[in-house]
C-alpha cells in the first residue's frame, strides 16, 4: 500500500516551531482534511511533505520509501502531486497545449517522448484523448484554444488542477483549492475532488477553511494548532470535540 507517513515532522523558523513533531499516516482511498486557525502550520506542513521546505527534524515517506532528503521535483516524480507546484503554466500556449504537455510529460517514463509539443501529437491518439477527457472534466473544453495568459484567474486555477490530474500522482494535495473562485468555478473543482475520491485508490489531502466543504468531502479530519497535531479522527467527532470548538471555531468553553 502506498501509505504516506510523516514522523515527528518538525520545522523551526528561528525560535518559532511552525510544525512540531507531527506524526500522521495517510491511506490510499481516504480524503483527509487538515484544518486549524490561521497560522496553525497547515501550509507549512504541506510544504514539508511536498519538499518546498526542508524539515528541521523528522521524516516523510511514501509506500515505505524515505522522501525526506529529496527535492520537491523528485518527490513529484515519486508520486506526490500538489496543485500549486504547477502554477508554472505556459502562459503563451493554449489551454489544450498546456494539458497535452502535461499528459506527455506523465507518459515520458514509459514512452521516452520528452517535452516536444509538435513531433508527437498527430500519431498518438491515446494521449490526445486523455487531454480531451481532462479538459472536459474541468469544464474548459470550450476554451481549449485560448491562450492561458488571457484566461480569468479562476480558469487558470482549474487548469492547474487539470495539469495535476494529467500527472496522475498517488497523492493529491490541495491547499484551499477553491480560494478566489467564483460561484460557478468552485463546484467544478469540488466535483473533480469528489471523482478522485470515488476512484478509491488515491490519497487526498485537503487544507480547507470552509467547513461545509470539509463536512461533505472529508473521511477524516486532522487539526493543527500552533504547529501541533491536536485532534485526528472522524469528521463529526473531531468537529464536536472541545479542542476544535475552542481552538478552531472560536467557541469558548462556556459557550460550547
Ligand atoms: N518561511 C517562513 N519563515 C518564517 N516563518 C514562517 C515561514 N513560513 C511560515 N511561517 C510561520 O509559520 C506559522 C505557520 O504558518 P502557515 O502558513 O503554515 O499557517 P497556516 O495554518 O497555513 O495558516 P493560514 O490558514 O492562514 O494559511 C506562522 O506563524 C507563519 O508566520
**Judgement on whether residues 24 and 62 belong to the same structural domain of the protein:** yes
Which of 168, 194, 229 finishes a domain?
168
* Between 156 and 34, the higher pLDDT residue: 34
Inside any domain, residue 54: yes
Inside any domain, residue 191: no
Taking CA atoms only, the protein residue closest to ligand 1 atom 9 is 44
pLDDT in tens, 110-123: 544 455 555 555 55
**Judgement on whether residues 107 and 224 belong to the same structural domain of the protein:** no
Does residue 18's CB lie within 6 angstroms of at least one atom of ligand 1? yes
**Judgement on whether residues 49 and 175 belong to the same structural domain of the protein:** yes
Task: Reply yes or no on whether the pLDDT at 108 is more than 50.
Answer: yes
Residues 135 and 144: beta-carbon distance below 8 Å:
yes
- What pLDDT score was predicted for residue 253? 45
Does residue 81's CB lie within 6 angstroms of at least one atom of ligand 1? no
Inside any domain, residue 188: no
Distance CA 216, CA 235 (A): 9
**Judgement on whether residues 209 and 226 belong to the same structural domain of the protein:** yes
Max CA distance (Å), the chain: 68
pLDDT in tens, 182-217: 888 888 889 889 989 998 999 999 999 888 899 999
Q: CA 191 from chain center: how many Å?
A: 15
**Judgement on whether residues 4 and 50 belong to the same structural domain of the protein:** yes
CATH assignment of the domain containing 117: 3.40.50.300
Give the residue carrying C-alpha cell 490519497: 203
Taking CA atoms only, the protein residue closest to ligand 1 atom 31 is 39
| C-alpha 176 to ligand 1 mean position (Å) | 15
Which stretch of DSSP H or E encloses residue 68?
Answer: none
**Judgement on whether residues 136 and 161 belong to the same structural domain of the protein:** yes
Which stretch of DSSP H or E encloses residue 219?
Answer: none
Report residue 32's pLDDT band, with 50, 70 and 90 as the boundaries.
very high
| C-alpha 244 to ligand 1 mean position (Å) | 19
Secondary structure (DSSP) of 82-139:
EGGGGG---TTSBHHHHHHHHHHHHHHHHH---S-HHHHGGG-HHHHHHHHHHHHHTT
Taking CA atoms only, the protein residue closest to ligand 1 atom 1 is 13
Which of 168, 192, 212 finishes a domain?
168
Total count of domains within the chain: 2
* Between 109 and 238, the higher pLDDT residue: 238
* ipTM entry: 0.96
Burial class (CB in 10 A: 0-12, 13-18, 19+), 54: exposed
Inside any domain, residue 192: no
In degrees rounded to 5, what are phi and psi of residue 154?
A: -60, -40
* 4-13 β-sheet, strand order: 16-26, 4-13, 57-62, 65-66
Domain that holds residue 139: 83-168
| C-alpha 67 to ligand 1 mean position (Å) | 22
**Judgement on whether residues 71 and 175 belong to the same structural domain of the protein:** yes
Mean pLDDT score, 90-98:
92
**Judgement on whether residues 217 and 104 belong to the same structural domain of the protein:** no
pTM for this entry: 0.87
**Judgement on whether residues 132 and 236 belong to the same structural domain of the protein:** no
Does residue 41's CB lie within 6 angstroms of at least one atom of ligand 1? yes
Report residue 139's pLDDT band, with 50, 70 and 90 as the boundaries.
confident
Inside any domain, residue 193: no
Amino acid at each position: 500500500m502506498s501509505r504516506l507517513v510523516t514522523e515527528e515532522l518538525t520545522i523551526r523558523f528561528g525560535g518559532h516551531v511552525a510544525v512540531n513533531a507531527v506524526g500522521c499516516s495517510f491511506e490510499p482511498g481516504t480524503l483527509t482534511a487538515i484544518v486549524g486557525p490561521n497560522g496553525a502550520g497547515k501550509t507549512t506542513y504541506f510544504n514539508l511533505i511536498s519538499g518546498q521546505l526542508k524539515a528541521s527534524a523528522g521524516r516523510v515517506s511514501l509506500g515505505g520509501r524515505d522522501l525526506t532528503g529529496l527535492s520537491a521535483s523528485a518527490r513529484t516524480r515519486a508520486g506526490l502531486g500538489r496543485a500549486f507546484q504547477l502554477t508554472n503554466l505556459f502562459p503563451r500556449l493554449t489551454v489544450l497545449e498546456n494539458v497535452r504537455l502535461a499528459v506527455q510529460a506523465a507518459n515520458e517514463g514509459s514512452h521516452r517522448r520528452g517535452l516536444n509539443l509538435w513531433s508527437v501529437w498527430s500519431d498518438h491518439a491515446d494521449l490526445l484523448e486523455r487531454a480531451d477527457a481532462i479538459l472536459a472534466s474541468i469544464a474548459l473544453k470550450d476554451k481549449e484554444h485560448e491562450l492561458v495568459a488571457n484566461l480569468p484567474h479562476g480558469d487558470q486555477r482549474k487548469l492547474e488542477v487539470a495539469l495535476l490530474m494529467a500527472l496522475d500522482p498517488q497523492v493529491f494535495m490541495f491547499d484551499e483549492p477553491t480560494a478566489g473562485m467564483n460561484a460557478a468555478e468552485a463546484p467544478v473543482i469540488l466535483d473533480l475532488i469528489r471523482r478522485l475520491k470515488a476512484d478509491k485508490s488515491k490519497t487526498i489531502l485537503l487544507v480547507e477553511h470552509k467547513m461545509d466543504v470539509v463536512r461533505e468531502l472529508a473521511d477524516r479530519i486532522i487539526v493543527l494548532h500552533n504547529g501541533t497535531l491536536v485532534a485526528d479522527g472522524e469528521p463529526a467527532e473531531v468537529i464536536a470535540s472541545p479542542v476544535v470548538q475552542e481552538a478552531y471555531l472560536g467557541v469558548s468553553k462556556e459557550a460550547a
